[in-house]
Structure 1
């Protein structure tokens, strides 16, 4: 009760600061948990760094290399990508992926591990089939070179997952990989906040929606939608650990506030929806029914109160008129272009990763968008109905593994918590898949982590 009272008073104080100084004050308020988390990490992690380094293996280096290869430092229009496919940052990205591919081939030859069997089983096998079909679509692609490289890139991601599944035998190993992944993405989220403070003219869009500000990453570049997704994932992970652990609750409560704060500042509606779905899933599975009833009653009162409901609706609209909001910020127009093209080639598509950008979006007159912002339509346009089915069945198999495993009496406590964590992240990604192409885009480490862990569960 005392903790709740203190957090309520802090909320009132921060609300007063925001009203007085403006919504940009949220950025500086969020700097407080970042400072706290940094100090806490130095204090708690100082004596653990050397033992932790002793636990790292080759796949951790490959995992970090994929993460670094996915960082974006420049934005190119479609014409520029066609005329100059290889610039410095493209070579940087390709070089890191190439190093990972060489490491995987070496490990296969040395049978340390022999990851080939893992590449043909379960959800990993289905996604490997999708990647292989994507590479084959080079033969009929509207931009063969683009399709071939992107397909190989995604296959390297899936092969690394297969190698990790073959190597990680214990929950302790998986827990370390989970923690490493969230540290990487939490750090990336921290750089976005630092960029908003140091380069507010580039990192903050003014005059957007109810808040009047919308943040994005500068170095590296992270679009507002990406910021929102990061905030939702970090928030979901923190919520799981908050309700499943008996210790470090204040730490994870701070992480939760940080993630939600960044999510709100990004004004990303699909990421917010994803977090709400994940939070509901978490509360249902941990059987916090009393809290759910209390929360539902509170939300009902908030929405029923006219001015508050209008305020929430104003935030959701984000300054858009009803027509633009109904079109999902113009996405439905892109999807219509894409669907019209798909029905002309339903079996083969137009080449993986090329069909949407160089066919549908080019026809729609969109030059700077790299995907059609829908995983499933992206798959249909790229590799047709057969690739779509491989992807769909692969994702459904992940949910099947999680739902059949959670709550099993023989489940270890650590395994149950990790499974719930993976489920919450996949819930965010599943919602976002309707508005982004992240599930089939290099390198969606959260999805790759979920995919590998689901295969680990299936084998147990």
Structure 2
């Protein structure tokens, strides 16, 4: 497998294995440790990626100097994996912990052996995967649960997960549109192609009716616009965007209100679909194991037994329950380091401007979405995979900046 292909294939393989659901499965089955053929297939895909990385790059035991960002990436992954050892759902936790280590190894391999062009190939491959998924979902609708009626998805993917993937694709597409004409590595498609793909993914995102993902995508696009121009052009772009947003709000206020209300009662809206009840219960349990948490995946079973919802429905809450203060602080430090390192990147070259803007936009979009879903603070999912791809992206950008400075 050539250097130009392996990062794309490996990343997309992990995304499909983790997030594309080919059957309906009860929530309590996921924590029971019962492995059906699709679970075994998911494990096999991760194992194949791990074997490929080992054979191709032959890792050694020699200790290498790493920067703060890489150290925090290792620390976060090892805390997640280590917390599996004391989880009440040991079988599931051990599998998830091993998957996190595979994602870490993939991200580190991309950072050490890849380049910025590989990152943009991954982004373009992900865009094609998600666009194809939207088209498949339109052409081949699958049966849905009663609680998901009226919300778009594909296969048996939950609309929240579909929305998270679509939000990432929308931010990436918006980044390539905003960066039209600027120098960057990787493939370049014609402007109409990006526009068509954005229309498909944007339409799919709205159709999922996943409010957190939509908010995340909006945050990402706003960051892209803000980082694209400087000085007076930045002010002009901000004014134009403000006018457009005000016009949309005035002319479509009823449609926007209907979208975010989603036909739900005031009580459910006030509790964010029972999220506030879940978070309240989480902070009642938190003092029992504040430092190390209850163990990886514990939040799924604890909340499922008491409230009927699996997972923390918030990345920070999820981490506090699974890994305690130690894991939560490491995760926050990792995100802060990504943002600070990217902000400090030189703006003197257009290539850095594109990567800098897209990294900031994608990271902040996922953080905004993580207020409503646990993906960014949970193992082995699209947000976790992209988090470690972003760590590699930042490291490659810094490496290139330092190389050009020399």
Shorter-normalised TM range: 0.7 to 0.9
Match of 1:93 among 42, 58, 67: 42
The aligned counterpart of 1:382 is 322
Deviation sequence 1:30-73 (CA, Å, 0-9, x none): xxxxxxxxxxxxxxxxxxxxxxx855354444334323322322
2:17 corresponds to 1:69: yes
Counterpart CA distance in 2 for 1:207 and 1:107 is 43
Deviation sequence 1:382-438 (CA, Å, 0-9, x none): 111011111110111000111111x522x3x23321222222221221111112222
Q: Residues 43-442 of structure 1 correspond to what in structure 2 (within 5 A)?
A: 55-56=3-4, 58-70=6-18, 71-83=20-32, 85-107=34-56, 109=58, 117=64, 121-168=67-114, 173-199=115-141, 202=143, 213-218=150-155, 221-246=156-181, 248-287=190-229, 288-304=234-250, 308-353=252-297, 355-366=298-309, 369=310, 371-405=311-345, 408-409=347-348, 411=349, 413-439=350-376, 440-442=378-380
Pairwise CA distance, 1:185: 4.2
Counterpart CA distance in 1 for 2:25 and 2:163 is 22
**8 A Cα contact 1:196 1:203, kept in partner:** no
Give the match's secondary structure for 2:143.
helix
Q: Give unmatched runs, 5+ long, in structure 1.
A: 1-52
Structure with max Cα Rg: 1
Counterpart CA distance in 1 for 2:204 and 2:247 is 26
The aligned counterpart of 1:15 is none
The aligned counterpart of 1:16 is none
Pairwise CA distance, 1:346: 0.5
**8 A Cα contact 2:33 2:91, kept in partner:** no
CA RMSD between the two structures: 2.7
The aligned counterpart of 1:449 is 389
Counterpart CA distance in 2 for 1:72 and 1:292 is 40
Task: Compute the TM-score of the two structures, normalised by the length of structure 2.
Answer: 0.85
**8 A Cα contact 2:73 2:391, kept in partner:** no
The aligned counterpart of 2:184 is none
In the alignment of these two chains, the number of paired residues is 385
- Are residues 92 and 304 of structure 1, via their aligned partners in 2, closer, same or farther at CA, if it must alter by over 3 Å? closer
**8 A Cα contact 1:356 1:381, kept in partner:** yes
* Higher relative contact order (CA closer than 8 Å, sequence separation 6+): 2
Counterpart CA distance in 1 for 2:80 and 2:227 is 37
- Are residues 84 and 347 of structure 1, via their aligned partners in 2, closer, same or farther at CA, if it must alter by over 3 Å? closer
- Are residues 203 and 425 of structure 1, via their aligned partners in 2, closer, same or farther at CA, if it must alter by over 3 Å? farther
Task: Compute the TM-score of the two structures, normalised by the length of structure 1.
Answer: 0.76
